[in-house]
Structure formats: C-alpha cells, structure tokens
Structure 1
Amino acid sequence: MTGVPLEIGSLLHTREGKPRASIFTVSHLSDNERMFFISMLLNEIVSWMRLQTGTSSLRAILYIDEVFGYMPPVKEPPSKKPLITLLKQARAFGIGVVLATQNPVDLDYKGLSNIGTWFIGRLQTQRDKDRVLEGMERLESASGCDREFLDKAITSLKKREFLLNNIHENSPSVFTTRWAMSYLRGPLSREHIKILMEGRAPASGAGAETSEPASMPALTTLAKEATEATPTEPATGPAEQISATSVPPAATSATPTTPRTS
C-alpha cells in the first residue's frame, strides 16, 4: 500500500506538536471500499485512544458528515462496533465525536442514547422523529421533559431552527442559525483536490514536516471555476439534519455518564 501512513498521532499533530486537521474523502470509492476504509480508520482511532490517559479536556474531535450506513439499527457492519465504542468511551479520553445525518431512523438507538448534545432540525418523517425521541428519552437530561413536550417542540421547528438538547442544561432550547449565502458548488472532484493540494508536501508519518499552504494560483483557479458556475438562490439555511456530539463531561471526572435504560 502507498500513501500517508494511517497513524492517528501523526494525523493529529506535526512533529513539532502543532495541531492539524486531517480530512478523508471517500466520495470516489465504491460502497464496499468506503466501508473498508471507514472501518479501518475507526479501529485505528479506538486503538490509539486506548493508549491515551484519561482527561476532562478536549484532545481531539472525530467528525463524520453523513453517518448513514455505518451504524444501522439492525445490521452489524464492521464500522458499527468501533463507532459505538467511541460514543461510549471516547469522552473519557478527551475525544469528541460529531455525527451528522438526515435520517436518524437509520441509526442504532444504543449509539443515540450515548450522545450528550443534540442539534435537531426539521424532520420529514414520523419514523425519524420517533427514533430521535426514543434516543432522547434514554438520556438523563430528558428526565424533566416528557415525550409529548419534545414531540411538540420538534414538530413546531421552522426553517433554520434547531432544538438544542444538552445533558448539562436543565431543559432543551430552540435557536436560529444565521443566513448563509452559498453557490452550492457541490463536492470537490479528485482533480479539484489535486489543485488545492498543489505545493503541499504529503505527510510521511510522525516525522512529517508542516506543509506549506496551497499556492495562490491554484486557489484562484478553483475560486474562478466556482464563480463562473451559475449561482443559485441563497441557501435558506443548512441542510435539515441531526448532528450529535459526544464531548468530555463538564465535571472533572473522566468517567462517562451512564444513560438510563428505561
């Protein structure tokens, strides 16, 4: 195999200890190839996590944009076990997990019940809403809010409104996102990624040097292509989705909160 070694420590920090963001795109892979890579990455993160010491400070964040298919409620794909393990244990090691999906009904409730912070947008189907309510009912923070209250709160959400449920707050709250204008350029192709990465030296393990930013001509070329595309109407807000975060608890204890099972 060729390419950058899948070493989590070197993917998070340079040799000098400077934090870095590592982005993996699987849009060009087949479904089987995507599952293979995501499962391998999650298992590497779990292995690296277990070598760390416990902490109440945030050490790293794993973000998955559209988790559909990786943590289904019935099937057992190879990605499911390490992902649920991270949702249950990662907070004790200072690792946050952020998941986004447009179809919460396709997620396992055991994973949902271990999520501490929820951002819930407009849900299109009753099944999606029922799955969200099922997961929230298992949270300790939901003890003061019955299912009927949460059901009405989610149903009454308008565009660009989200229901925030945090285990460290007494009750859920509704907030509105600001307007954002986007040309809706769409996902980057492999050719565009090559343009953006032009001039950057690939990381080569733990001893990789910090790479230089992409050259200005390359960024200008990509920006020009985006502006030449026919602009659409300004987006009315982010895609309706549920985003969940597993974060270290506010208390000094590194032991994750155990959700209720009833």
Structure 2
Amino acid sequence: MPAAPAPTWDPGQYLRHADHRARPFGELLARIPEPPATAPRIADLGCGPGNVTAQLAERWPTAHITGYDNSPEMLARAEAHAGETPGGGRLDFAHADVGRWLPEETYDVIVSNATLQWVPGHVESFAAWVDRLAPGGTFAFQVPGNFDAPSHVLMRELSESTRWQGLLGGVLRHADAVLTPADYLERLAALGCAADVWETTYLHLLQGPDPDPVLDWVKGTGLRPVLTALEGDPKARTEFLDAYRGLLREAYPATGHGTVFPFRRVFAVARKEN
C-alpha cells in the first residue's frame, strides 16, 4: 500500500462552513479558566486559516498568541490576522509540525482545535506540553469523535474497495484516530491536571446552493488525503467523488429545510495544578 501523503489544504474550501466549524471552539474557549498571567503567552496548535486563533485575541487582548500549523496554504491565509492587537497584545503565526512540536518556552494556555486527530500518538505529547505550562495554566483541545459516522465509514469503505485500494488503501485515518473521552480524562488526570472532559453531538443543518452539502463539508477536512492522493489524476478524482456523492446522498438525505449532518466532538480542558 502507498504511504499516506501529507494532505494539501484549501483554506477557501475549509472556510465554506466556517460558522459551523467555529462553534465548538467557541464553546471550548468559554470553559478555559483565566490564565495566571496578566499578559498571557498562548499557543494554538493547528491554527489553520487563523479565524479561530483570532478569537483567542478577543478573549485575551493583552496576550502574545502564536498559531502553529504545517500547511503553507493555511499559514498564508492566517497572516491576515497577524499583528498587534487593540489590547496591546500580539498575534503571530509560525510553521510547525504538531506531531513533533515541543514548547521552547513557558505557556499559560496551549489550545488545539480539530487538529490532534491528524496526529498519530498525539497523547504521547501531552506530558511535554503540560510540563511547559505555567502553574495554573491550561491545556485545552477538541477533536472530532465521528469516525464511526457514515461520512467517514463510507469514505473508508470506498477507498478500501477493489476499485480504489491500489490508489487509496491506507490513506485515510481510522476509528482509532482519537481516544474515548474516558481515556483522555485518565491520561490528563495522570499528569496531575484537574481535567474536565465531555462530548457533544451537533446537528448541523446544512443549507445553501450546493446540492451536496455533506460532500462540500468533507472536501474541506476529512476528504483531503483522498483529494491529495488523486490530484494528479482528475478523471479518477471525479469518478471517486461521483461514487462517494451517491453514497452520501443516501446516508444524509436532503429535507425541505436542509440536510441534517450529525457531528460528535470530544472536548478536554486540563488545568495544571499550582
């Protein structure tokens, strides 16, 4: 089987459902306690196009916030948010592979929004990240918990089918991409953190001109490895998308008021004890 390619990202496609995608981060942000410093140092791991990183600057206007990402396309889009903030803080962005990122300084908050599912073995980094939190600092993240949803199951089954296995076998993430909420709680508590872990299933009502809104959604995220693997073969890419589109239409039928797209997410807020 081919090695899974590093997915290329399309910020414009990703932001097509920005309101729905940003909502979980807002709810995560609301649960993060105030950091110990008056001018906190904050890291956003997997900042993407920077739209949610900017919410950190709104919450803590005196903070120095750095968004880290390994996608040149996403970082180029994020630069629109960079600069001094009205409260005297600063927002900047830097290239980093979250799977290898180790803090070189002390942070008051380390946050990650819908990124760690892309990082195999991400829980093994938790100890190093918590270690570089200031006393009373917080590590917080949210990850999709929907790998057993039809959108992912159908994508994997199609990719592993006889027609596509040679091109796409082993390319996609599987159901073990994230841990259970109980496992995350155990890992964080074992590091001496006061941990709050929960899950929420959103019922996104997708509306708009696109007749296949679930396909449009996954084109911005979960389908990126497939699109990357097939980007040199437009005919094969079209064939795959046509087949997948038909499966999604059956799994997520349109209604008179839109297409309902259930989406489970797992949240964790871990405060380092003083």
Query: Structure 1 length normalisation: TM-score?
Result: 0.29
Structure ID, larger Rg: 1
Task: Name the one with the larger strand percent.
Answer: 2
Query: Structure 2 length normalisation: TM-score?
Result: 0.28
